[in-house]
Amino acid sequence: MVEFRDTKEYKMGAASESLIVQRFMRCGHTIFPAYEHVLQEGKEKAPRLFKSDRRFISPDIMAFVRGKALWVECKAKNQPGWRKFAPKGWPRDGFPRWEHGIDYYHFTHYLDVQADTGQPVYIVTHELATPFTLECSGFPPDPEPPLSDEETFRVITINRAQSSGRRELRWPRPSQGNFGARGMGGWLWPVAAMSEWILDANAR
């Protein structure tokens, strides 16, 4: 049996986390990597926060700068997902589109972490390939538009992900019986709602 740390998925995620941490440090942030604490215990589980009556899944890192703090969930993606048509029950406008998403179970925990700690939660996605354009209104559903092999870092606040996204139960790979963490599907939002993270030329 292949250990999770030896899988391509884990290695890609760990590499992206490292790059995201480096970018924050170049911008002057001090980093607490919550995921490192979990890995040192020898268990492949999401980082946790604890209260007397419950546990929260926490984002991967906490970044501090000039007396302020923020939570950061790091994501590694080969490319954004290409959604040809709106899922059943969704408004039809806005499709086809490029989109990103996370497990709905984790998403609800991140909202609770933000509410309980008072610190904002950001989702940073490292794309290994990125669309040439996010304006898809005139595109036919097929074929999927071409991608650039240029790496891109995209950022969205969890509030923006909440307001621009929707829950999809048949996610991420329903044909394989994979419906996300706890079988609760995912929370999906358009890539167009995200901001591209371009480092200032003066960043260290």
**Which one-letter DSSP state was computed for residue 6?**
G
**Can you give the pLDDT at residue 85?**
92
- Reduced to 3 states, what is the DSSP secondary structure of residue 25? helix
What dihedral angle (degrees, nearest 10) is formed by the CA atoms of 153, 154, 158, 163?
A: -170
Residue boundaries of the structural domains of the chain: 12-196
Other Cβ atoms within 10 Å of 194 Cβ, number: 26
Please name the CATH architecture into which domain 12-196 falls: 3-Layer(aba) Sandwich (3.40)
Backbone torsions φ then ψ of 185, nearest 5 degrees: 75, -155
Structure token digits, residue 119: 């610190």
How much is the pLDDT for 201? Answer: 55
Per-residue pLDDT of the chain in tens (204 residues, 90 and over written 9):
667 677 888 899 999 999 999 999 999 999 999 877 554 445 556 788 898 888 999 999 999 999 999 999 999 999 999 999 999 999 998 999 999 999 999 999 999 999 999 999 999 999 999 999 998 877 888 889 999 999 999 999 999 999 999 999 999 999 999 999 999 999 999 999 999 999 875 555
Contact status, residue 80 vs residue 130, Cβ threshold 8 Å: yes
The per-residue pLDDT for 147 is: 95
CB 27 within 8 A of CB 20: no
- Report which of 94, 93, 77 is spatially closest to residue 186, judged by C-alpha positions: 77
- pTM equals 0.91
